[in-house]
Amino acid sequence: MLAAERRNLILEKAHEDGRVIVSELSKSFGVSEETIRRDLDKLAEDGHVTKSYGGAVINERSSIDLPFNVRRNSNPLGKQRIAELVYDVVNDGDHIFLDASTTAVFIAKNLKKKKRLTVITNSIENMLELADVDDWDIISTGGLLKSGSMSLLGRRALESVADYNVDKTFFSCKGIDIEKGVTDGNDETASIKQGMIASAGKVYLAVDSSKFGNIAFSKICEMSKLDVVITDRQPPAAWLDYFKQNGIECIYPLN
Protein backbone atom coordinates (compact mmCIF):
# COMPACT_ATOMS: atom_id res chain seq x y z
CA MET A 1 0.00 0.00 0.00
CA LEU A 2 1.26 3.46 -0.91
CA ALA A 3 1.79 5.95 1.92
CA ALA A 4 -0.80 8.32 0.42
CA GLU A 5 -3.40 5.54 0.36
CA ARG A 6 -2.65 4.63 3.97
CA ARG A 7 -2.94 8.26 5.08
CA ASN A 8 -6.31 8.57 3.37
CA LEU A 9 -7.54 5.46 5.20
CA ILE A 10 -6.20 6.82 8.49
CA LEU A 11 -7.98 10.11 7.82
CA GLU A 12 -11.19 8.28 6.99
CA LYS A 13 -11.01 6.41 10.30
CA ALA A 14 -10.23 9.62 12.20
CA HIS A 15 -13.21 11.29 10.55
CA GLU A 16 -15.51 8.39 11.50
CA ASP A 17 -14.27 7.86 15.06
CA GLY A 18 -13.06 11.34 15.98
CA ARG A 19 -9.61 10.03 16.91
CA VAL A 20 -7.02 7.36 16.06
CA ILE A 21 -4.46 5.46 18.15
CA VAL A 22 -0.92 4.83 16.89
CA SER A 23 -0.65 1.28 18.26
CA GLU A 24 -3.99 0.26 16.76
CA LEU A 25 -3.12 1.71 13.37
CA SER A 26 0.25 -0.02 13.43
CA LYS A 27 -1.39 -3.41 13.89
CA SER A 28 -4.16 -2.69 11.40
CA PHE A 29 -1.81 -1.68 8.55
CA GLY A 30 1.08 -4.00 9.44
CA VAL A 31 3.64 -1.20 9.65
CA SER A 32 5.78 0.18 12.44
CA GLU A 33 4.50 2.73 14.92
CA GLU A 34 7.16 5.12 13.65
CA THR A 35 5.66 4.90 10.16
CA ILE A 36 2.22 5.71 11.57
CA ARG A 37 3.65 8.68 13.48
CA ARG A 38 5.10 10.02 10.22
CA ASP A 39 1.68 9.60 8.61
CA LEU A 40 0.07 11.53 11.45
CA ASP A 41 2.76 14.21 11.18
CA LYS A 42 1.82 14.69 7.53
CA LEU A 43 -1.91 14.79 8.27
CA ALA A 44 -1.29 17.30 11.06
CA GLU A 45 0.91 19.39 8.75
CA ASP A 46 -1.93 19.44 6.20
CA GLY A 47 -4.36 20.62 8.88
CA HIS A 48 -6.60 17.54 8.98
CA VAL A 49 -5.75 16.27 12.49
CA THR A 50 -4.24 17.45 15.75
CA LYS A 51 -1.70 15.11 17.29
CA SER A 52 -2.39 13.92 20.81
CA TYR A 53 -0.67 11.55 23.23
CA GLY A 54 -0.55 8.16 21.51
CA GLY A 55 -2.48 9.24 18.44
CA ALA A 56 -4.42 12.11 16.91
CA VAL A 57 -7.88 13.71 16.88
CA ILE A 58 -9.78 15.08 13.89
CA ASN A 59 -9.51 18.84 13.39
CA GLU A 60 -13.19 19.75 13.17
CA ARG A 61 -12.48 23.46 12.63
CA SER A 62 -10.04 22.92 9.78
CA SER A 63 -10.37 25.29 6.81
CA ILE A 64 -9.00 22.50 4.59
CA ASP A 65 -11.50 20.18 2.91
CA LEU A 66 -11.12 16.45 3.41
CA PRO A 67 -10.16 14.50 0.27
CA PHE A 68 -13.22 13.65 -1.82
CA ASN A 69 -12.87 9.87 -1.34
CA VAL A 70 -12.85 10.33 2.45
CA ARG A 71 -15.93 12.56 2.41
CA ARG A 72 -17.77 10.21 0.04
CA ASN A 73 -17.50 7.34 2.53
CA SER A 74 -18.91 9.38 5.41
CA ASN A 75 -22.55 8.51 6.24
CA PRO A 76 -23.53 7.10 2.82
CA LEU A 77 -26.89 5.86 4.14
CA GLY A 78 -27.81 9.35 5.30
CA LYS A 79 -26.81 10.87 1.97
CA GLN A 80 -28.88 8.28 0.10
CA ARG A 81 -31.92 9.13 2.22
CA ILE A 82 -31.44 12.80 1.41
CA ALA A 83 -31.11 12.01 -2.30
CA GLU A 84 -34.39 10.09 -2.26
CA LEU A 85 -36.16 13.06 -0.69
CA VAL A 86 -34.63 15.46 -3.23
CA TYR A 87 -36.09 13.34 -6.05
CA ASP A 88 -39.60 14.31 -4.94
CA VAL A 89 -38.97 18.08 -5.16
CA VAL A 90 -37.34 18.10 -8.60
CA ASN A 91 -39.66 18.38 -11.61
CA ASP A 92 -39.04 17.24 -15.17
CA GLY A 93 -37.55 20.14 -17.10
CA ASP A 94 -36.07 21.90 -14.06
CA HIS A 95 -32.85 23.92 -14.29
CA ILE A 96 -30.77 23.22 -11.18
CA PHE A 97 -27.41 23.93 -9.58
CA LEU A 98 -25.61 21.05 -7.87
CA ASP A 99 -22.56 21.88 -5.77
CA ALA A 100 -19.42 19.77 -5.43
CA SER A 101 -20.39 18.07 -2.18
CA THR A 102 -20.48 14.28 -1.89
CA THR A 103 -24.18 14.57 -1.03
CA ALA A 104 -24.72 16.12 -4.48
CA VAL A 105 -23.24 13.02 -6.13
CA PHE A 106 -25.87 10.88 -4.41
CA ILE A 107 -28.51 13.39 -5.57
CA ALA A 108 -27.25 13.31 -9.16
CA LYS A 109 -27.32 9.52 -9.27
CA ASN A 110 -30.82 9.38 -7.81
CA LEU A 111 -32.29 11.92 -10.26
CA LYS A 112 -31.53 9.94 -13.43
CA LYS A 113 -35.16 8.95 -14.01
CA LYS A 114 -36.15 12.60 -14.37
CA LYS A 115 -36.65 14.03 -17.86
CA ARG A 116 -35.02 17.02 -19.58
CA LEU A 117 -33.13 18.39 -16.60
CA THR A 118 -30.48 21.05 -17.00
CA VAL A 119 -27.76 20.61 -14.38
CA ILE A 120 -25.04 23.20 -13.82
CA THR A 121 -22.25 22.00 -11.54
CA ASN A 122 -18.65 22.62 -10.49
CA SER A 123 -18.22 18.94 -9.58
CA ILE A 124 -16.16 16.57 -11.70
CA GLU A 125 -17.85 13.63 -9.95
CA ASN A 126 -21.33 14.94 -10.81
CA MET A 127 -20.36 15.27 -14.47
CA LEU A 128 -18.94 11.74 -14.56
CA GLU A 129 -22.02 10.37 -12.81
CA LEU A 130 -24.37 12.03 -15.33
CA ALA A 131 -22.32 11.41 -18.47
CA ASP A 132 -24.60 8.56 -19.60
CA VAL A 133 -27.88 10.53 -19.36
CA ASP A 134 -29.19 11.24 -22.86
CA ASP A 135 -31.86 13.93 -22.61
CA TRP A 136 -30.27 16.24 -20.03
CA ASP A 137 -28.08 19.29 -20.52
CA ILE A 138 -25.03 19.05 -18.26
CA ILE A 139 -23.13 22.33 -17.95
CA SER A 140 -19.72 22.68 -16.31
CA THR A 141 -18.86 25.93 -14.56
CA GLY A 142 -15.25 25.61 -15.65
CA GLY A 143 -12.60 26.98 -13.33
CA LEU A 144 -9.50 25.74 -11.55
CA LEU A 145 -9.44 22.06 -10.59
CA LYS A 146 -8.91 21.83 -6.85
CA SER A 147 -6.54 18.98 -6.00
CA GLY A 148 -8.23 16.13 -4.11
CA SER A 149 -11.67 17.75 -4.02
CA MET A 150 -12.89 16.87 -7.53
CA SER A 151 -14.27 20.41 -7.77
CA LEU A 152 -13.79 23.43 -10.02
CA LEU A 153 -13.21 26.69 -8.16
CA GLY A 154 -11.87 30.20 -8.65
CA ARG A 155 -12.83 33.30 -10.64
CA ARG A 156 -13.89 31.49 -13.81
CA ALA A 157 -16.25 29.23 -11.87
CA LEU A 158 -17.77 32.19 -10.02
CA GLU A 159 -18.32 34.12 -13.25
CA SER A 160 -19.98 31.11 -14.85
CA VAL A 161 -22.37 30.59 -11.93
CA ALA A 162 -23.44 34.23 -12.14
CA ASP A 163 -24.36 33.81 -15.82
CA TYR A 164 -27.27 31.45 -15.08
CA ASN A 165 -30.67 31.68 -13.43
CA VAL A 166 -32.00 28.35 -12.18
CA ASP A 167 -35.18 27.03 -10.62
CA LYS A 168 -33.43 25.35 -7.69
CA THR A 169 -30.04 25.16 -6.02
CA PHE A 170 -29.03 22.10 -4.01
CA PHE A 171 -25.94 22.44 -1.84
CA SER A 172 -24.43 21.00 1.31
CA CYS A 173 -22.12 22.34 4.01
CA LYS A 174 -19.88 21.49 6.95
CA GLY A 175 -22.01 23.18 9.59
CA ILE A 176 -25.44 24.67 10.25
CA ASP A 177 -26.00 26.79 13.34
CA ILE A 178 -28.91 29.03 14.30
CA GLU A 179 -26.66 31.95 15.26
CA LYS A 180 -23.72 31.51 12.86
CA GLY A 181 -25.72 30.34 9.86
CA VAL A 182 -24.50 27.90 7.19
CA THR A 183 -20.73 27.39 7.06
CA ASP A 184 -18.09 25.53 5.07
CA GLY A 185 -14.41 24.69 5.22
CA ASN A 186 -12.92 27.59 3.22
CA ASP A 187 -13.69 30.75 1.28
CA GLU A 188 -13.25 29.15 -2.16
CA THR A 189 -15.98 26.56 -1.73
CA ALA A 190 -18.22 28.95 0.21
CA SER A 191 -18.09 31.61 -2.51
CA ILE A 192 -19.24 29.19 -5.23
CA LYS A 193 -22.20 28.18 -3.09
CA GLN A 194 -23.01 31.84 -2.41
CA GLY A 195 -23.18 32.38 -6.17
CA MET A 196 -25.46 29.37 -6.61
CA ILE A 197 -27.77 30.68 -3.89
CA ALA A 198 -27.94 34.15 -5.44
CA SER A 199 -28.92 32.74 -8.86
CA ALA A 200 -31.67 30.36 -7.67
CA GLY A 201 -35.42 30.76 -7.49
CA LYS A 202 -35.49 28.35 -4.52
CA VAL A 203 -32.64 27.31 -2.24
CA TYR A 204 -32.35 23.81 -0.79
CA LEU A 205 -29.76 22.88 1.84
CA ALA A 206 -29.19 19.12 1.64
CA VAL A 207 -27.34 18.26 4.84
CA ASP A 208 -27.03 15.18 7.03
CA SER A 209 -27.97 15.35 10.70
CA SER A 210 -24.37 15.29 11.95
CA LYS A 211 -23.87 18.87 10.69
CA PHE A 212 -26.56 20.43 12.91
CA GLY A 213 -24.96 22.62 15.57
CA ASN A 214 -21.55 22.59 13.85
CA ILE A 215 -19.69 25.77 12.92
CA ALA A 216 -17.03 25.65 10.19
CA PHE A 217 -14.47 28.26 9.16
CA SER A 218 -16.14 30.17 6.33
CA LYS A 219 -19.70 31.49 6.21
CA ILE A 220 -21.85 30.57 3.23
CA CYS A 221 -25.05 32.37 4.17
CA GLU A 222 -27.48 33.36 6.88
CA MET A 223 -30.25 30.91 7.71
CA SER A 224 -32.71 33.37 6.18
CA LYS A 225 -31.35 32.56 2.69
CA LEU A 226 -32.69 29.00 2.92
CA ASP A 227 -36.11 28.00 1.62
CA VAL A 228 -35.87 24.28 2.42
CA VAL A 229 -33.63 22.05 4.54
CA ILE A 230 -33.53 18.38 3.54
CA THR A 231 -31.90 16.03 6.04
CA ASP A 232 -31.62 12.32 6.83
CA ARG A 233 -33.47 12.23 10.14
CA GLN A 234 -35.86 14.34 12.20
CA PRO A 235 -34.00 17.29 13.75
CA PRO A 236 -34.37 18.11 17.46
CA ALA A 237 -37.52 19.99 18.50
CA ALA A 238 -35.63 23.29 18.93
CA TRP A 239 -34.58 23.16 15.28
CA LEU A 240 -38.08 22.28 14.07
CA ASP A 241 -39.47 25.22 16.07
CA TYR A 242 -36.85 27.53 14.56
CA PHE A 243 -37.63 26.39 11.02
CA LYS A 244 -41.37 26.86 11.55
CA GLN A 245 -40.96 30.33 13.07
CA ASN A 246 -38.71 31.46 10.23
CA GLY A 247 -40.64 30.03 7.29
CA ILE A 248 -38.06 27.37 6.39
CA GLU A 249 -39.51 24.05 5.25
CA CYS A 250 -37.77 21.00 6.72
CA ILE A 251 -38.02 17.67 4.91
CA TYR A 252 -36.83 14.42 6.53
CA PRO A 253 -37.73 10.70 6.42
CA LEU A 254 -40.86 9.81 8.35
CA ASN A 255 -39.56 6.38 9.39
Domains and CATH numbers, the chain: 3-59 (1.10.10.10), 69-251 (3.40.50.1360)
Nearest-Å Rg of the Cα atoms of the chain is 19
Contact 230, 88 (CB under 8 A): no
pLDDT tens for each residue of 203-238: 999 999 989 999 988 999 999 999 999 999 999 999
Q: Whole-prediction pTM value?
A: 0.81
| Integer Cα distance of 192 and 177 in angstroms | 20
- On the question of pLDDT at 149 being above 90, the answer is no
- On the question of pLDDT at 24 being above 60, the answer is yes
- On the question of pLDDT at 103 being above 90, the answer is yes
Contacts of 198 (CB under 8 A, 6+ apart): 162
Residue bearing the bigger pLDDT, 44 or 91: 91
Residue bearing the bigger pLDDT, 20 or 231: 231
- On the question of pLDDT at 62 being above 60, the answer is no
| Integer Cα distance of 5 and 29 in angstroms | 11
| Integer Cα distance of 246 and 214 in angstroms | 20
| Integer Cα distance of 191 and 195 in angstroms | 6
| Integer Cα distance of 196 and 237 in angstroms | 29
69 burial type by CB count under 10 A (0-12 exposed, 13-18 middle, 19+ buried): middle
pLDDT tens for each residue of 152-195: 999 999 999 999 999 999 999 989 999 999 999 889 999 999 99
Q: What is the pLDDT of residue 68?
A: 55
Q: What are phi and psi of 22, to 5 degrees?
A: -55, -50
- On the question of pLDDT at 133 being above 90, the answer is yes
